[in-house]
Structure formats: structure tokens, C-alpha cells
Chains A and B, each alone.
Chain A
Amino acid sequence: MTAILFIEQVLNGLQFGVMLFLMAAGLTLVFGVMGLINLAHGSLYMVGAFAAAAVAGATGSFLLALVAALAAAAAAGAIVELVVIRRLYDRDHLDQVLATFALILIFSEGTRWVFGSFPLFLDIPDYLSGPVTLPGGIEYPLYRLTIICTGLVIAAGLFWLISRTRLGVRIRAGESDREMIAALGVDISKLYTVVFALGAALAGLAGAMVGAIQSVQVGMGEPVLILAFVVIVIGGIGSIKGALIGAILVGLTDTLGGLLLPELFKLFMEASAASTTGSALASMLIYILMACVLIWKPQGLFGGQA
């Protein structure tokens, strides 16, 4: 294995991690502020991807498609919050799990009803396609670099939003004492809708950006959702910083594990068997990582109270 291959894989892991962060950020915010566990977050990811595919198909513009993904996911998030989610804030987690599980069923089959059973087409625009040559002679797809940069910019934006703006102050206040900020005259229910829609928009954006290099199809959100759960468990629930670090950790572990484990097994096994065993173990690696983090820090790396 060459150094170039290794660096390329590190970049791949980073790109995967950054996308996971966009998903995990919404989940962790919603949990931190409202104390709500939302299984239907993956459906919002799917809504974003489908909206983008529909708009890109109609207009041919990728930027418009991204805007549509943001808008559609935010709108879907706001509607779901107003109609269903706000009835769940003072319920226990069990009710939240069940209600959002029901939402997954409705979203998935509803999307299939509207868009049909075949995957939709969404491609990266010409100006972002093809590889670029990085220093050191590494050829890397421009679009994936764009994803890494976009993700990092959004992460920076989120940190700024939370630490520097009025909305951020309210969000932080909401995390520490809900009754108190309501008593101080903040319209708490509006705040909740905004936070939920913000999380949804991030998920929708992730869905659209990933949809362009993967496939846009019903059920695309759930595998990512589960990975996002792993991320926020590792990072600590409610912590944006934890989500970022957890996401990159998971991204790197998954990508490098898939590469290194089969190589490792090849040292003492026959090639084909090594490949099978190595990839079987690699698919479990992030869960093993999660278990290790929990043994060490049950609240995650940056978690406060659960």
C-alpha cells in the first residue's frame, strides 16, 4: 500500500465524517434543546435528496437543487414539528421513539407513492465533476473536496451561531433551563420550531449532496441515521463539538478499517478468505469503537448530563 493511497483514504474518511456531522448536528441540537430523540431524522435526509433530484430534473441547476433541498427539508421539519413533534416534548423517550418510528413509515411510503419505486437521478454539476491534482500528486475528485469544505464551513457557521448570536444564546439557555427562558419572555415554542427546522435543513442538505454521488431512493436515510446515532453517542449528546469530532472519528475508522483490516488478515490468511473476514470485521468496527468509548466515558467524549 502506498502513501498516496493512504492519504486518499484519509480524505475519504474525512469527507464521510463531514457528511455524518451534518446529520448528527441536527440530531444532537434537537436532543440538547428539546430533549427529543428523533428517529425520523433520516427521513428528512431523504426528503432533501428527493427535492434536489426533482428540482435538478426540472431546472437543470445544481445550486437551485441544493436550495430546494434545504427549503423542502426545513419545511418538512417545521410541519412535522408543529403537527406531531411538539406534542412529544413532555412525553417519555418511549413515546418519542414510537411516534418518530411511525413518521418513518409515513415518510418512506409517502415518498414512494409520489416518486415511484425506482431510484431518481441526481448528478454532480459539470463544474464540480472530475478529479483535481493535489500537492504530492494525489488525484482526488473535486466534488468530494467541495463536500469537505462545505461541511467544515457549516460546522464553523454552527459554532459561530451558537456562541455569538442571539439565537445561539437562546439555544444554549434552552439547553440548560427551559422553564427559565420561557419565564424570561422568550417564545419557546417558536424557538423549538426554528431549531427543529434548522436541524432538518442540515439533514436535507446532506441528503442532497450525498445523493449526487450515491443513489436517491426510498430508505436511503435509515442507515445514515444509525451511524449518526453512533456519532452522537461517541461525541456526547447535545454537544456540537462532540458531534464534529465523533463524526470524523467514525468516518476515519470506517474508511481506514475497510482498507487496513483485510490487508492485516492477508498477513496470515489466504487472500480471498482474508478479504471476506476482514470486511466482515470492518463492518462492525465502528460499533466496537463506540463500545470502547462508552467503557471509558459513559457520557461520550464531550457529554454533560444525559
Chain B
Amino acid sequence: MKMKTLLAAGCAAMMATAGLADDHKVKVGMITTLSGGGAGLGIDVRDGFLLAAKMAGNDNLEIVVEDDQRKPDIAVQLADKMIQSEKVDVLTGIIWSNLAMAVVPAATAQGKFYLSPNAGPSVLAGKGCHPNYFNVAWQNDNLHEAAGGYANSAGFKNSFILAPNYPAGQDALTGYKRIYEGELAGEVFTKLGQKDYASEIAQIRASDADSVYFFLPGGMGISFLKQYADSGLDLPVVGPAFSFDQGILQAVGDAAMGVKNTSQWNKDIDNEANKAFVEAFQAEYGRLPSLYASQGYDTANLLLSAMGKADVSDAEAFRAALKEADFDSTRGDFAFDSNNHPIQDIYVREVIKEGEVYTNKIIGTALEDHSNVYVEDCKM
């Protein structure tokens, strides 16, 4: 025990001197999904983040990237590694809500900062909020609420809504219903990972719905849209951006043409930061940026803005600097509400074809300066 204490003291002393030598260094640990199903999202977040870091050219920013394989236990293990042996100051990168729930509470409890570039589970916005947790993307309900808002303005009176039977799916439908004022023609929970929607489409056909809202991320959405397009049904379909984003859209193809979807970002949002981002991303990686890339990019810029104002070792000041959100977001106006989740405009986009490439264009704003309903539950 004595040796251990001595060693620990030695280490602490060394760290203290090292700390003095480079005052402004910030070490970021990025845990994201780079292999297996869903790797595309993590790769985009990583690329957006690294692009912003490269463009800023800030030598004080050090980034470690690790692959969580979309497994919660691996993510937890990596978080332990980053905190315990890499000694990072800031964690970021997680794509999925269930992985975020596994990592974030423990990381913030250990005094680390966590900047979420994608997942925003309701618990972390409400009762489980934490001053060191900042969400740079959206609260999970946001895009669904926006879809409800769009449904009202489009005059839908009888929506058929469906989502997979898991927490994010249940939140999605709750979010839609929160804003949507019409009736429900049907509400269906599908199996998570389900690929055949013939049965649900038959139920939509049998109902007297005037519109369909669905939240089916990844391959599930691709399958649904293709089968829906083939069914001969021509009710308007609305979904959140996840099923219509740059990476996935090419796999959906024609079936997605003209579909309205809700998103807080698109490549045609008219501001300097966004133009610079879209151009630089294409030049660097040779593909159009996605929603996820924009979120990664914004996350890095938020961090860089805070680094310019405060030292990470002064947690109080660094937290305040983050909270100011004093950076040029690709989305234009961006601010944090009191629970550290964004207040931002959410747009309605339409899927179009530019040459051979499917992409989106903004056709309106669904909700302006939208925050989330969990603000009141958050006591910090």
C-alpha cells in the first residue's frame, strides 16, 4: 500500500508539472460506431469532427478515436479506457441513445465533459441532466415534434403512425402526438430490425388515413419506403431526417422522391459557416456531407470556441464557455436552453434529385426556435 501511495503521489506531481507546461491542451476521446451495421453514421460524425479540427488547425486539440461496434458494453469499456488511461478531458462521438445511456452518466459523474453529436435521450434532458453534458444535435423528440408541426400546417387530419417497439420508437410517436392536433388512423409498433412491412402497409390501406408518419432508422426505413412505393398507396409520407439523409438516400432511390422530412440542418441552409463546411467536406472526402457530418462538425466547433475562452482545467469557466455556444453553427442560430440542449429552427425538407444524386432541399420551417419539453424536469 505504501509503494502504491508513493507512486500515486509521484504520478500526481508529474502530471502537475506536465499540466503547467501546456496549459491549454484539451484531450478529446471520441467513442463512435466505425464497424458493423450503422458504421456509416459514426464515420460521418468522425469525419465532420476531424474536418473542423483540421480547418481550425489548433495544436492544443488532441483527439483519440475508438470504435464501439455499436455495443453498449464495448462503449463502456472504451469510456473507462479513455478516462482511466488516456486521461481525456472531453468525451464525444456516441451515435445511439442506448450507448449514450450506458456511458454519459458515468462519465459526467467522474467530472468529464460530454458533448453529444447525435443521441439525445429524454432522461439526459430531464431528470438525468448534468451541467457537464451538452447536446449539440437535438433532443430525441425534436424532429418528431417538428413532423407533427408540419402535419398541422399541411392540414393532415388523420395520420397513421408507426415506429419500432423500443424506447426511441415510443418517444418518437409521443413526440409526434405532442404537437400534432389531428386524429390517429392507427398507431403501430413494429419489431425492432423488422424488414418486411407488408403487414403494416396492408393495415394502412385498410384504414382511412390521410397521411403516414414513420420513424424507422437505418435499413428498416429503406425497406419500408421501397415497399410503400410499390404498394400503390399514394398517401403523403412524412419522416424524420434519419431515413432521408445523404448516406442512406441513395439506397432508397426513387421511392423517396418528393417525401417530406424534418431536419435541423440541410446543405442548402444559407450561411457562411454552412457553405464553408459543405465545400470543405466535399473537397476533403469526395462525397456530400450528411446530417451526422454537420453535427460532428458543429460539435468540434463548439469545443474549439470554448477552448478559446477558458482552460479545461478550470471546469467552471469551461462549462460557462461551452454554454455560451459562441460558434458559427452550420445551422445558423444556435443556443443552449437551461438543460444544455439546443434551441434551434427545425426545417421541412423535400427529397429531390440533383443530376444522378438524391438529396434534399428545404421547403419551409416546421418549428422556430424550438427547445424541448424536458427543460422543467432538469434541476441542476
Residues of chain A touching chain B, judged by Cβ–Cβ distance below 8 Å, are 1-2, 4-5, 8-9, 12, 15-16, 108-109, 112, 116-121, 123-124, 129-131, 139, 141, 143-144, 210, 212-220, 223, 255, 258-259, 262, 271-272, 275-276, 279-280, 282-283
30 pairs across A/B with beta carbons < 8 Å?
A5-B202, A9-B199, A9-B202, A12-B196, A12-B198, A15-B198, A118-B40, A118-B247, A118-B248, A118-B251, A119-B218, A119-B219, A129-B230, A130-B230, A139-B232, A141-B231, A141-B232, A143-B230, A212-B226, A215-B218, A215-B219, A215-B220, A215-B222, A215-B226, A217-B218, A218-B36, A258-B191, A271-B187, A275-B187, A283-B165
Chain B hits for A4, CB < 8 A: 206
Q: Give the CA-CA distance A220 to B366 in the complex, in Å.
A: 35
Q: Is the CB of B223 within 8 A of A213?
A: yes
Q: Give the CA-CA distance A115 to B202 in the complex, in Å.
A: 34
Q: How many residues of B contact A (CB 8 A)?
A: 41
Chain B hits for A109, CB < 8 A: 35
Contact status of A117 and B39, CB under 8 A, knowing A139-B205, A213-B230? yes
Chain A hits for B36, CB < 8 A: 108, 112, 218-219
Check B105 for interface membership: any CB of A closer than 8 A. Answer: no
Q: Give the CA-CA distance A161 to B320 in the complex, in Å.
A: 75
Q: Is the CB of B189 within 8 A of A276?
A: yes
Contact status of A255 and B198, CB under 8 A, knowing A117-B39, A141-B230, A215-B223? yes
Q: Is the CB of B222 within 8 A of A275?
A: no
Shortest Cβ distance from A119 into B: residue? B251
Q: Give the CA-CA distance A123 to B228 in the complex, in Å.
A: 12
Chain B hits for A129, CB < 8 A: 229-230
Shortest Cβ distance from A224 into B: residue? B195
Provide the B26-46 mask, 1 if CB < 8 A to any CB of A, else 0: 000000000111011001000
Q: Which of B203, B220, B252 has the most CB of A within 10 A?
A: B203
Check B254 for interface membership: any CB of A closer than 8 A. Answer: yes
Q: Give the CA-CA distance A144 to B219 in the complex, in Å.
A: 19
| Nearest CB on B from A181, distance (A) | 40
Check B131 for interface membership: any CB of A closer than 8 A. Answer: no
Chain A hits for B191, CB < 8 A: 258, 279, 282-283
Chain A hits for B223, CB < 8 A: 213-215
Within 8 A of A (CB), among B222-241: 222-223, 226-227, 229-232
| Nearest CB on B from A79, distance (A) | 24
Task: Give the A-B contact count at a CB cut-off of 8 A.
Answer: 128
Other 14 A-B pairs with CB < 8 A, given A12-B198, A131-B231, A255-B198:
A5-B206, A108-B36, A117-B43, A121-B252, A123-B254, A129-B229, A214-B227, A215-B226, A219-B36, A220-B195, A223-B193, A223-B195, A258-B191, A279-B165
Contact status of A214 and B202, CB under 8 A, knowing A118-B250, A271-B187, A280-B165? no
Check B190 for interface membership: any CB of A closer than 8 A. Answer: yes
Q: Is the CB of A259 within 8 A of B199?
A: yes
Chain A hits for B152, CB < 8 A: none
| Nearest CB on B from A286, distance (A) | 11
Q: Give the CA-CA distance A280 to B191 in the complex, in Å.
A: 8
Shortest Cβ distance from B246 into A: residue? A118
| Nearest CB on B from A148, distance (A) | 11
Q: Give the CA-CA distance A271 to B137 in the complex, in Å.
A: 32
Q: Give the CA-CA distance A120 to B252 in the complex, in Å.
A: 9
Q: Give the CA-CA distance A139 to B218 in the complex, in Å.
A: 28
Contact status of A131 and B232, CB under 8 A, knowing A215-B223, A255-B198? yes
Q: Which of B196, B223, B253 has the most CB of A within 10 A?
A: B196
Check B255 for interface membership: any CB of A closer than 8 A. Answer: yes
Chain B hits for A216, CB < 8 A: 251
| Nearest CB on B from A50, distance (A) | 12
* In-complex Cβ contact of B35 among A112, A214, A223 (8 A): A112
Chain B hits for A119, CB < 8 A: 218-219, 222, 248, 251
Q: Is the CB of B37 within 8 A of A219?
A: yes
Q: Is the CB of A214 within 8 A of B222?
A: yes
| Nearest CB on A from B331, distance (A) | 24
Chain B hits for A108, CB < 8 A: 36
Q: Give the CA-CA distance A258 to B189 in the complex, in Å.
A: 10
* In-complex Cβ contact of A120 among B165, B220, B226, B251 (8 A): B251
Shortest Cβ distance from B42 into A: residue? A117
Q: Give the CA-CA distance A154 to B135 in the complex, in Å.
A: 53
Check B74 for interface membership: any CB of A closer than 8 A. Answer: no
Shortest Cβ distance from A19 into B: residue? B196
Chain B hits for A262, CB < 8 A: 188
